Amino acid sequence: MTGMEQALSALKQYFGYDAFRPGQASLVQAILEGRDCLGVMPTGAGKSICYQIPAIVSKGLTVVISPLVSLMRDQVDSLEEAGIHAGFVNSTQSADEQALTLAQARQGEYKLLYVAPERLETPRFVTFAQQVNIELLAIDEAHCVSQWGQDFRPAYLGIGDFIDQLSHRPKVAAFTATATEHVRRDIVAMLRLRDPYLAVTGFDRPNLFFDVVKLETRDKNRWVCKYIQDHKSESGIVYCATRKETEELCEMLNRHGITACNYHGGLAPLQRDKAQDQFVNDDVQVVVATNAFGMGIDKSNVRFVIHHNMPESIEAYYQEAGRAGRDGENARCTLLWNESDIVTRRRLLDMDSGNDRLTTQQSELVKASHRQLLQTMIGYCRTTSCLHEYMLHYFGQDLGQASLGLSPAVPNEDMVCDSNDGGEEVSKSCKTCSNCLSTFATIDVSRMARTISRCVHDVHQAFGAGKIVQILLGSQSKDILDRHLDKCPSYGALQGEHAARVRDVLNQMAADGYLTITEGRLPLVQFGPKAAQTVRGDFHYEIKQVQRKRLTVTDRGAKSDLT
């Protein structure tokens, strides 16, 4: 039998599955051929199989590095149930238990051994690792190695040194659901992957209808209530940003005759379990929750996920929204947002005191990365293009090699990309997102765009969007006069226009690269890479605006009549 035939037979024998999912086969094959790998797949896509199958069909030991100590026992139990010998060593065990597990692993009793990254720093484990034949080192949640990631964990930085101490270098397979260029580059560089095979797959969820609705804060609850009343037979999740919001909204839904429970980290464990059971068993139609809800919850018939506020990143959004339609049937993911969500998110980022295990420099990098993640989330809310495409583009599934963003300075730039594995592609009009179903009016805003650009020049790129709009509209506010901004050549150049329109155009120019908005506590409007085009005589600029007519999506049984 070839390696892949063995792999398929193990998939059937131990897991009962007939076929690999997109991306899995090529990753398994690459590992069996002895290559390092980087697998980028969303949560739930099946990353574990990618290293468990090679572990089963290989002779030596597979060490799995996982940050989630609390899940190790469950993972090992389910492998043992399937007839695969596995163990774990972590801080929940006594010293004797740890020693026993290592002794058993040394005698070849396990196919897989799970450890947390901190374990690799202990002399006892290093000695163990030098004595056994580690064939594969699988690194779960590999983005934790990156200071640009959401979940930087300093111990991941020691993995490269750990590998260097081994007399025989194992194959190294890293897995993550995080997609940003910085993070991928860090994974390759910090884990010292050699000529890694890259697979980016499984991000497209064609059965999900994505919908973005811009709404004033005061209208959000009413919108949610009406949506749920119109979909009485459907189970759904509403995500809110704060505990208080979940309580208020839940109460309102109950008052309107909707069976809903709420869930957040402030509830006692018993209350949380109760809420979860009620939702999973369909005793309530809706759970109103913070992002504490969802991990490990397996409910396949969730028909809608509504976000009451803008999440902090596309990754977070995709993971939460992705809890809809697990059964493959159609489901709807709606994101309600407005400009004040952005202000709130930025404030939360600034207030975040960070992780006290990080140095000041590391904390700054983490913050900068969070700002960048938020910026991409804002882009999702503002885009008038296909929402599926935006997401696939973000996760790099449609980009292949380019998505790695590997500059020649980084080793392994000749990574192979398998982005088309599974043949997932989104057509020009996907028909499963609100943008592709909306009609847009195209408005010529060339003059306005040119004027905005001139104002940014006049003020030496030293002011934020609010001030620029005030200057252009000719505001008489005290601050403008005190700073003599009324002397600026473009002062009042857009007098009579609506502030909201000027802001929209400015934001769109930033999204399109004519301007950039700097990150930081006081974001400044500066020139973007395409800024020079705005002074050209033939400069033409249009923006699309969704027609404020009622949008009805009958084929999904979902009406969004408050757009």
Nearer to ligand ADP by C-beta: 116 or 129? Answer: 116
Which residue number, 45 or 386, has a Cβ lying nearer to ligand ADP? 45
Strand 525-527 versus strand 515-517 pairing type: antiparallel
Would you give the distance in Å from CA 295 to the centre of its chain? 14
- The answer to whether residues 211 and 333 touch, using CB atoms and an 8 Å cutoff, is yes
List Cα–Cα distances, 31 to 135, 196, 197, 220, 414, in angstroms. 10, 10, 9, 49, 17
User: Which is nearer to ligand ADP, 74 or 413 (by Cβ)?
Assistant: 74
Q: Among residues 143 and 308, whose Cβ is nearest to ligand ADP?
A: 143
Choose between 302 and 306: whose C-beta lies nearer to ligand ADP: 302
How far is Cα 440 from Cα 545, in angstroms, rounded to an integer? 5
Q: 171-176 and 302-307 as β-strands: parallel, antiparallel, unpaired?
A: unpaired
CA separation for the pair 453, 275 (Å, rounded): 52
- Shortest separation between residue 1's beta carbon and ligand ADP, angstroms: 19
User: Which DSSP helix (H) or strand (E) runs through 367?
Assistant: helix 360-382
Q: How far apart are the first and last CA of the chain?
A: 58
Closer Cβ to ligand ADP, 28 or 172, answer by number? 28
Residue closer to ligand ADP by CB (options 20, 203) is: 20
Q: What are phi and psi of 214, to 5 degrees?
A: -90, 125
Alpha helices in 132-267, H assignment, sequence order: 159-164, 181-190, 217-230, 243-255
Nearest distance in Å: CB 68, ligand ADP: 11
In DSSP terms, which residues pair with 304 in a beta bridge?
Answer: 236, 332
Closest to 267 in 3D by CA, of 243, 250, 240, 239: 243
Rounded to a whole number of angstroms, the minimum distance from the CB of residue 397 to ligand ADP is: 15
* Residue with nearest beta carbon to ligand ADP: 46
Taking the complex as a whole, the smallest distance from the CB of residue 75 to ligand ADP amounts, in Å, to 9
Distance CA 117, CA 143 (A): 13
> C-alpha distances in angstroms, 137 versus 114, 125, 140, 270?
10, 14, 10, 38
* Least distance CB 553 / ligand ADP (angstroms): 29
Q: Which residues bind ligand ADP (CB under 6 A)?
A: 17, 20-21, 24, 41, 43-49
Write down the least CB distance from residue 47 to ligand ADP, Å. Answer: 4
Least gap, CB of 52 to ligand ADP (angstroms): 8
We find the least distance from the C-beta atom of residue 16 to ligand ADP, in angstroms, to be 8
Nearer to ligand ADP, 17 or 440 (CB): 17
Q: How far is the CB of 350 from ligand ADP (least distance, A)?
A: 32
352 vs 14: CA distance, rounded Å: 45
The minimum distance between CB 331 and ligand ADP, in angstroms, equals 18
Least distance CB 207 / ligand ADP (angstroms): 16
> Smallest distance, Å, CB 185 to ligand ADP?
22
Closest of 289, 284, 242 to residue 260, by C-alpha = 284
Which of 183/551 has CB closer to ligand ADP? 183
Residue 218 to residues 119, 215, 260, Cα–Cα distance (Å): 50, 8, 20
Nearer to ligand ADP, 44 or 464 (CB): 44
* Tally: H helices and E strands in the chain: 20, 20
Query: Which residue number, 19 or 268, has a Cβ lying nearer to ligand ADP?
Result: 19
How far apart, in Å, are the Cα atoms of 350 and each of 217, 336, 514, 517, 520? Answer: 22, 23, 27, 16, 8
Q: What is the largest CA-CA distance in the chain?
A: 82
Nearer to ligand ADP, 67 or 523 (CB): 67
| φ and ψ of 544, to 5 deg | -100, 140
Among candidate residues 372, 306, 420, 377, the one with its CA nearest the CA of residue 518:
372
